[in-house]
Chain A
Amino acid sequence: MKSITISVNDKKIHAEIPAPQTLLDFLRSNGIMSVKRGCESGECGSCAVLVDDEPRASCITLTLQADGKEVKTVDALSTRPDLSELQKRFIEVGAIQCGYCTPALLLLADHYLNNALSPSEKELREAISGVLCRCTGYLKPVEAIKKEFKAN
């Protein structure tokens, strides 16, 4: 077992964890259900998180790699009862279908919007390309995110 301290959405978690544990398992066992398991090889992206503000697939990240770092999930995007503007846009344009990849898409889109100097649709499509969505064809999610970068 290994001792770790990870700040998850600004809350420090100290824990004893087995060395092979993935960050995905760590987060889910700590009640963060917004990170989803879809492939366990990083390709579907539904487990995406930010570690020190960098996107990562948590299913191919060891909890130990995040030790001492800050992990952010979609749960940090808004506080109850309000939703973030981006979440509202997703709802407004109908960008959510089954909702399984939605947290990952929202998180990566939010990260892109926070970092892009001059956002473009092409770059945006690249930025979220690590998240597979089998329901929407990405049309409405992209529309929602574009509205948000036009709004700002």
Chain B
Amino acid sequence: MISSKDFRVVGKVTPRVDAEKLSRGKGAFSDDIEFRELLHLKVLRSPHAHARITSIDTSKAKALAGVHAVLTHEDLPRIPHTTAGQGWPEPSPYDTVILDNKVRFVGDRVAAVAAETSEIAEKACSLIEVDYETLEALFDPEKASKPGAIIIHDEEDSSGIFDKSSNIASKLEATYGDVEEAFKDAYKIFEEHYEVGYVQQASIEPHICITWLDEDDRLVIRTTTQVPFHVRRIVANVLQLPVKKIRVMKPRVGGGFGGKQEILNEELCGAFTMATGKAVRYWMTREEELHAARTRHPQKLFFKTAVSKEGKILAMEVRVIENTGAYGTHGHTVMTVTGNKIFSMYNIPNIKFVGEAVYTNLPVAGAFRGYGTPQGIFALESHIDEIADKLGIDQIEFRLNNLYKEGDSLPITSKMAEGGGADAQVIRSSGLEECIRRGAKAIGWGSPKEPTAVGRSRGIGIAINTQGSGIPNVDMAASSIKMNEDGSFNLLCGATDIGTGSDTALAQIAAEALCVPVDDILIYSSDTDMTPFDTGAYASSTTYISGAAVLVAAKKVKSQILDVAAEMLEVEKEHLICSDSKVSTQEGKIVTYEQICLYSLYQRNQFQIMAVGSTVSSESPPPYSVVFADVEVDDDTGQIRLLKLVAAVDCGVAVNPHMAEGQVEGAITQGMGYALSEFMPFDKNGAPLFKTFRDYNIFRSSDMPEIEIILVETYEPTGPYGAKAVAEVPISGPAPAIANAVSNAVGARVRSLPITPEKVWKELKNNNN
């Protein structure tokens, strides 16, 4: 079998191509450029969860010295669109306009001001006089979809909403087998529900956007985005500009996690540049981030599961109510992934999935690493654990009894997929069982450890899950490779490195294929004027899809190199061998890449050695993650302390093992936050209560438990050099693994996130009564 051992660069520790400049703190990010004249944008945001703007008076704001423009819904055309940075046509409803005469959550845009300083812009915002007709606000998706509820999207021009009148943005159903029949014959049926709330991506770099007109009067957008090409397309539509009039540049991005897969500010910033002709900068404050950027979709998940006497799962019915917030961005597709991943783990012959994404007057949910999987897996893996418990079967044994195995096909993937029409995914590579085995050993499964103090109990929990590698038949990537005179290559990628290290991984793939050191690959990503198209950094697609595009381009370039070498050496192309930046004959005659390029550019039959590679995949091979948690719980207060977490991950061949580990480490840390500390509460009027990182607690270095990462290598035959995705899959495991460990420790089953001391305490009290 092929493995990473067969490669020279792929699978080897390789320093990041961008590490040096980042370690020096060079000005590589969106905000790190200076302008002689720059306007600062501030947004006036709604204090009401649901209201109509009956009048808006900007005269005082406009009169303030230093103010260059004030825009409200009266100034801009209504172009319904989605802010979701997805492929065209986007599978999210067109329910948003740049500025509306209605506000739908506390923090929704009302108006905006561009001024010479941000202080002036902020002052001007406070001078805008707005009259609101407040409307009843809906915060509970179950109530919002009941007949008679006020309609959040009552505008006439929105489209793609499943049922406006009942606030249902999207509805989804999938089934195979016969669930009803299976329930009749079951040995036991288990019913339970689980709930997960709002959390945020919270990249440390906020959303920053700077727009200006270049010397050709084209709108340049320099922005913190995961999706530069979608930004260009959607902004063009919203601002009614031809695509050719817009250039989107993605400099370094300080983390995205899905939060930057959104057209969150670019259209507004652009509108001000179009209105003033000036450069405009918009920087979201942390409070704005916490209130008005995107979040993970809250969901309530209802499970009904039938098992046989032998411990086989016969049928599973899952109903999901998803809160998409005030707008439907990503609502449908996130729910699709929830269902898709719930039913991609266990070989269950009869399933039914029903999901509804419902509007509420709360912040807008969007894309967040895992994209529906963490919600579904928290519920599924808690539920599986409860069933194993009640059947008295070991948690691992019960899982192994029911797992999909290598060679199986996943019927759910043909029933529920973005873009539709996919064939059932066949599992061509799976290290899942080995992940379980090695993870279990690392955590000490079956040999419980003593608590560290009296009055506490210790427990271990497991959770397993999968994800995809790109969206089949939807995600598309391209890259170009051009040879230079010294034997180096410019690799231009539409793929968007947002801190993930994809620039390095893609350079490695090119270097491997072109037989050169990584140093000789000069990668650039991404700029809509310069780089080929790519759908963007999401859905764990970059290594698998964009990597494949790089490989295609590199192979074409290599073929051209061999053509030239054959001409130079007067040998048949087929008899030539590439290695170490040179081409040699079997007799040992050699031409270097440098000579080849010089020849091709200056000597005979001159041409530029260069090629474009483009890919789309009909498959989305599943990577796997297995997480084990070792926790200690205070028997009386319910306080939880995480002692150790083991994550064993199968991502195929890890193109860059350090970076793959880094992805796992970061993902499980976010997963631990989802489990234990992150949430977003609101007051009774729907106003968010958390404003800072003191409130919204993400893990600090002092919070980290002992961590062990295990990469289990498999070879994915459809991936570039055997690679599958890695970025998202590890995030889903920690929450259910910790919930299961808490239950194992003290018998308290917490079915909602985060797992707080109080929730544990309540369960303990219930158990005692």
Q: Which residues of A contact B (CB under 8 A)?
A: 31, 33-41, 43-44, 46, 73-75, 78, 83, 87, 90-94, 96-103, 106, 125-126, 128-142
Contacts and interface: CB of A to CB of B under 8 A. Distances in A.
Contacts of A94: 13, 15-16, 658-659, 661-662
A85 B115 CA distance: 44
A73 B25 contact: yes
Interface in B1-51: 13, 15-16, 18-29, 31-32, 34
Given A87-B24, A135-B662, A140-B661, 9 more contacts: A37-B283, A46-B205, A96-B22, A97-B666, A103-B23, A134-B669, A136-B662, A138-B700, A139-B707
Given A78-B24, A90-B23, A137-B666, A132 B693 contact: yes
B390 interface: no
B254 interface: yes
Nearest to B256: A98
B462 interface: no
Contacts of A34: 24-27
Contacts of A140: 658, 661-662, 665
Contact of B255 (A35, A40, A100): A100
A110 to B, nearest CB: 12
Nearest to B205: A100
B650 to A, nearest CB: 19
A75 B26 CA distance: 9
Interface of B: 13, 15-16, 18-29, 31-32, 34, 201-206, 252-255, 257, 283, 285-286, 498-501, 658-659, 661-662, 665-666, 668-670, 692-694, 698-702, 704, 707, 709
B705 to A, nearest CB: 10
B23 A83 contact: yes
A137 B699 contact: yes
Contact of B702 (A41, A74, A125, A134): A125
Contact of B257 (A91, A130, A134): A134
Contacts of A130: 700
A40 B16 contact: no
22 contacts: A31-B34, A34-B25, A34-B26, A35-B25, A43-B694, A74-B25, A75-B24, A87-B24, A90-B19, A91-B20, A96-B19, A97-B500, A98-B254, A99-B21, A99-B23, A103-B25, A126-B701, A135-B255, A135-B662, A137-B665, A137-B668, A140-B665
A79 B83 CA distance: 44
B700 A129 contact: yes
Contacts of A37: 31, 206, 283
Contacts of B286: 38-41, 44
A40 B205 contact: no
Nearest to A126: B702
B20 A38 contact: no
A139 B15 CA distance: 17
A94 to B, nearest CB: 3
Nearest to A124: B701
Contacts of B701: 125-126, 128-129, 131, 133, 138, 141-142
A73 B454 CA distance: 46
A46 to B, nearest CB: 6
B668 A135 contact: no
B529 to A, nearest CB: 24
Contact of B662 (A40, A97, A125): A97
